């Protein structure tokens, strides 16, 4: 089933009621947006994407995501991504703790993230990843914040860490695990993030999860500029011929939501209402942004 594309007016309203979308995971600080970042934000708002959550990936962008969140009225998270732990130092964990302390009363600071484990990319030190993951869970407990988790071939190990160091829930970003693993995350108070991968007809497991998980478990995300939906994808042959991959951006979220709505039998209005409420439940501070 290919997702049909509603017109912009449908994205913006349903039965005359404006739709409000939350992109629960967007890397607006990425260099891919340097040339037109303000225009990217404007396009998102034109289709009703009024709130973005901007997770940091390393100490070098702690200030950047905070400043972007305050400039545009968005939310942010601070953390060290598993793909960056090889370049990180112990002092970065100290800096993270200092930043969390300094900004603990900032309502736009909604989580610790993006943190987690990645056992897909070769060459990463699993022990070092585990160390940074567990230390950041300790910080989440200390500052009573939810976490935004990077989950790639690591669901069981992440769950083991959460059982050892329980936190105040959060979001398992770009979830691609099994139904059993999904259920365990939900039992621990987590929501599961669905984005561009949902739009591919061959993503059978992810689409099945999106269709069958409890309504309260689902949140939407773009992970922009990464994980482009199918309408932005170009094949290897196309890229070899010089055709670039379309850049993902938060304005794509309502069309991704259309895919979720079709799988669930929801209206677009229900998709907007349900997923936005779920993000706010996962990240309670978001309601004050």
Query: What's the pLDDT tens digit per position in 63-87?
Result: 999 999 999 999 999 999 999 999 9
> Which tens digits make up the pLDDT trace of 201-244?
999 999 999 999 999 999 999 999 999 999 998 776 776 676 66
Span 17-31, mean pLDDT? 94
Q: Is the pLDDT of residue 245 over 90?
A: no
Residue 237 pLDDT? 73
Q: Is the pLDDT of residue 37 over 80?
A: yes
Output the DSSP codes for 74-114: -EEEE---GGGTTT--HHHHHHHHHHHHHTTT-TTEEEEEE
Span 99-118, mean pLDDT? 98
Span 115-123, mean pLDDT? 96
Q: Read off the pTM.
A: 0.94
Span 133-138, mean pLDDT? 98
| Burial class of residue 237 in the structure, from the number of CB atoms within 10 Å of its CB (0-12 exposed, 13-18 middle, 19+ buried) | exposed
Question: Mean pLDDT, the chain, as a whole number?
Answer: 94
CATH of 17-288, one of 3.90.226.10, 3.40.630.30, 3.20.20.140, 3.40.50.200: 3.20.20.140
Name the percent of the chain lying above pLDDT 90: 89
CB environment 67-87: b (16+ within 10 A), e (fewer): ebbeebebbbbbbbbbbbbee
Q: Do residues 159 and 184 touch, judged by C-beta distance below 8 A?
A: yes
Beta bridge partners of 230: none
Alpha carbons 182 and 136: distance in angstroms, whole number: 22
């Amino acid at each position: 089933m290919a997702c049909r594309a509603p017109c912009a007016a449908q994205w913006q309203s349903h039965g005359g009621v404006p739709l409000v979308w939350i992109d629960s995971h967007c890397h607006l600080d990425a260099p891919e947006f340097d040339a037109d970042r303000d225009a990217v934000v404007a396009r998102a708002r034109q289709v009703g994407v009024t709130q973005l959550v901007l997770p940091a990936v390393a100490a070098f962008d702690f200030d950047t995501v905070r400043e972007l969140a305050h400039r545009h009225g968005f939310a942010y998270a601070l953390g060290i991504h598993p793909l960056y732990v090889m370049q990180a130092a112990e002092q970065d964990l100290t800096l993270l703790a200092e930043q969390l302390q300094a900004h603990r009363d900032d309502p736009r600071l909604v989580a610790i993230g993006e943190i987690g484990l990645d056992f897909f990319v070769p060459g990463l030190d699993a022990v070092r990843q585990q160390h940074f993951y567990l230390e950041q869970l300790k910080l989440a407990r200390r500052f009573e914040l939810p976490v935004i988790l990077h989950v790639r071939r690591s669901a069981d190990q992440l769950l083991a860490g959460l059982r050892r160091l329980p936190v105040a829930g959060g979001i398992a970003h770009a979830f691609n695990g099994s139904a059993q693993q999904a259920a365990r995350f939900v039992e621990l108070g987590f929501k599961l993030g669905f984005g561009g991968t949902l739009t591919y007809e061959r993503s059978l497991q992810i689409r099945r999860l999106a269709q069958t998980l409890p309504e309260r478990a689902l949140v939407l995300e773009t992970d922009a500029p990464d994980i482009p939906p199918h309408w932005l994808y170009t094949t290897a042959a196309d890229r070899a011929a010089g055709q670039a991959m379309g850049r993902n951006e938060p304005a794509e979220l309502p069309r991704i939501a259309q895919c979720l709505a079709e799988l669930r039998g929801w209206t677009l209005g229900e998709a907007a209402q349900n997923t936005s409420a779920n993000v706010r439940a996962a990240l309670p501070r978001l309601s004050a942004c």
